[in-house]
Amino acid sequence: MENSGLLKLNTFTPRETVSELDRYIIGQDQAKRAVAIAMRNRWRRQRVPGELRDEIAPKNIIMIGPTGVGKTEIARRLARLAQAPFLKVEASKFTEVGYVGRDVESMIRDLVEVSVKMVRDEETQRVQLRAQELAEEHLLDVLVPPRPAGLEDRPQAPSFSDTTLGRIEPARASANGEPSDATREKFRRMLRDGKLDEREIELSVPDRAGVFPMMQVFSTSGVEEMNMNLQDMLGNLFPKRTKKRRLKVPEALRVLSDEEAQKLVDNEKVIHEALQRAEQAGIIFIDEIDKIAGRESGKGPDVSREGVQRDLLPVVEGCTVATKYGMVSTQHILFVAAGAFNVAKPSDLIPEMQGRFPIRVELHSLGREEFFRILTEPRNALVKQYVALMATEGIELEFDDAALNRVADISAEVNSRTENIGARRLYTVLEKLLEDLSFRAPEMNGAMVRIGVEEVDGALGDIVQDQDLSRYIL
Ligand SMILES: Nc1ncnc2c1ncn2[C@@H]1O[C@H](COP(=O)(O)OP(=O)(O)OP(=O)(O)O)[C@@H](O)[C@H]1O
Ligand SMILES: [Mg+2]
């Protein structure tokens, strides 16, 4: 069982991972390398034979860097690449009022949920074709009801052998005087040709809006475990409700094939695979870890930061957590922590915690050159986003390079004069620059708009000159 085939881990080499990340994140090479190596180490460990494999623990990473320079963004992109169960948590949420003493282990349970959903989606995808076939048969049963029992039962599979024997379709008339197999095939053809798309049929579908919404009332109280079991219990207690719905044929096919897929997917197997994947390949990103650094007890109603670190320790170190799907060992889960560490330093974490995160990478604050590149280069670059948004109004938006350079300059300058919020400054500056256009766009019927340096200075010049004004507006 242990090695039911190697886990389907991402096979990127570190260099490939870095170049994938490069498509979205400018600079920060050190951090990219570290996460790329960590990911590859997963793959390597899977290939280490025997006992040694279990001894190899992941090298957890702390990303240190000011706000808005790509820490979260790197983790987010890594998650997509990794095809591994991934969970992001804010360390500070464990200290918040209202979450008092919130069980740190809940992040492992959440990770397992992610993993289960991931595996279930994959399995569902795998049985899709079969499910569609079954759904088609089911739908034909509704459209061409089998003859009532008593009359000869509709032959299931052998109906084809009749014809292969060279016999013409037997003239066993059904109630409406037509051979039902032939009718069925006729309907099948019509169905596939889309000729029944406008027909409506009545189906009983499971009514999912059931017990659960009301249950949410409990879940803030922090008694996660109880809540979780309660949900399961109640879910099983109430019979699955169904309701009749009239659906157009294509929609009905979709509903039926979802239902068949659910039946085809082997739940036991999904859970087994999901648990294994969470244990062996899971990644947990702990954001804002600096918010729990500091050894003094928190003041006021906050839970002590050190307390949270102590709770976190065993989870990072490797312990076993009970989830509703079974026990999960956290020993090989990779933890990536991130924080700005403006006030607290990594050395303010309790020593045991420091030891659990042996790899430290620094992310650098961003300057005007990076800003220019961030505006234009990434797949999801801000400028591309605005161009696409304006295109929906029929407006062709273009930026001169000089204008974008000016935007980068202004952003860097405002960052240095007021507060350095990193690349997020680009958002506020661009938004201000394009505010007027965004407002008037629908009335401009398809103009072409070109943003040059003059436009940038016109819209932003005064604000940038005035310190107080820029503090509020940009
Ligand atoms: N190096 C970068 N390359 C491309 N885009 C970036 C870069 N750094 C930041 N951004 C952009 O700025 C936004 C904010 O970055 P991100 O969320 O990664 O900040 P962070 O480092 O996690 O900051 P915080 O400490 O405040 O959480 C991102 O959505 C991204 O679009
Ligand atoms: Mg962040």
Minimal-distance CA residue to ligand 1 atom 6? 70
In angstroms, how far is CA 231 from the centroid of its own chain? Answer: 24
Mean pLDDT on 219-230: 51
State pTM to two decimals: 0.76
Q: Token digits for 22?
A: 């490069």
Please name which ligand lies nearest the alpha carbon of 73.
Answer: 1
**Can you give the pLDDT at residue 123?**
93
Is any atom of ligand 1 closer than 6 Å to the C-beta of 72?
Answer: yes
- For residues 142 and 78, membership in a common domain is answered with no
Mean pLDDT on 70-94: 88
**Can you give the pLDDT at residue 172?**
44
- For residues 243 and 172, membership in a common domain is answered with yes
**Can you give the pLDDT at residue 230?**
61
Q: What is the pLDDT of residues 431-441, one digit of tens each?
A: 999 999 999 99
5 part of a folded domain = no
290 part of a folded domain = yes
Helix (H) or strand (E) holding 436: helix 435-440
Q: Which residues contact 46 (CB under 8 A, 6 or more apart)?
A: 6, 7, 9, 53, 280
Indicate the residue among 227, 243, 264 that finishes a domain: 264
Q: Which atom number of ligand 1 is nearest to the Cα of residue 73?
A: 18
Number of domains in the chain: 3
- For residues 387 and 285, membership in a common domain is answered with no
Minimal-distance CA residue to ligand 1 atom 29? 73
- For residues 320 and 383, membership in a common domain is answered with no
Q: How far is the CA of 288 from the centre of ligand 2 (A)?
A: 7
- For residues 118 and 134, membership in a common domain is answered with no
Q: How far is the CA of 72 from the centre of ligand 1 (A)?
A: 6
**Can you give the pLDDT at residue 204?**
79
454 pLDDT more than 70: yes
**Can you give the pLDDT at residue 165?**
37
Mean pLDDT on 20-47: 93
Mean pLDDT on 164-171: 37
Mean pLDDT on 135-159: 66
- For residues 297 and 389, membership in a common domain is answered with no
Indicate the residue among 314, 330, 362 that finishes a domain: 362
Is any atom of ligand 1 closer than 6 Å to the C-beta of 70?
Answer: yes
Q: In sequence order, what are the beta bridge partners of 321? A: 328
Select, from the ranges 57-61, 240-244, 383-387, the one with the highest average predicted confidence (pLDDT).
Answer: 383-387
- Report how far residue 243's alpha carbon sits from residue 254's, in angstroms, rounded to the nearest whole number: 17
CATH of the domain at 114: 3.40.50.300
Mean model confidence pLDDT for the chain: 82
What are the contacts of 251-257 at 24+ separation with CB within 8 A?
252/139, 252/201, 252/203, 253/132, 253/135, 253/136, 253/139, 255/203, 255/205, 256/134, 256/135, 256/138, 256/139, 256/203, 257/128, 257/131, 257/132, 257/134, 257/135
- For residues 135 and 118, membership in a common domain is answered with no
Is any atom of ligand 1 closer than 6 Å to the C-beta of 290?
Answer: no
1 part of a folded domain = no
131: pLDDT confidence band, cut at 50, 70 and 90?
very high
Q: What is the pLDDT of residues 349-397, one digit of tens each?
A: 888 888 889 999 999 999 999 999 999 999 999 999 999 999 999 999 9
240: pLDDT confidence band, cut at 50, 70 and 90?
low
6 part of a folded domain = no
Mean pLDDT on 246-258: 89
**Can you give the pLDDT at residue 99?**
52
472 part of a folded domain = no
110 part of a folded domain = yes
**Can you give the pLDDT at residue 296?**
57
**Can you give the pLDDT at residue 321?**
93
Minimal-distance CA residue to ligand 1 atom 14? 68
**Can you give the pLDDT at residue 159?**
39
473 part of a folded domain = no
Q: How far is the CA of 95 from the centre of ligand 2 (A)?
A: 17
Residue located via tokens 């999912």? 208
CATH of the domain at 375: 1.10.8.60
Minimal-distance CA residue to ligand 1 atom 16? 70
471 part of a folded domain = no
Q: Which atom number of ligand 1 is nearest to the Cα of residue 28?
A: 1
- For residues 97 and 134, membership in a common domain is answered with no
Residue 146's domain comprises 129-264
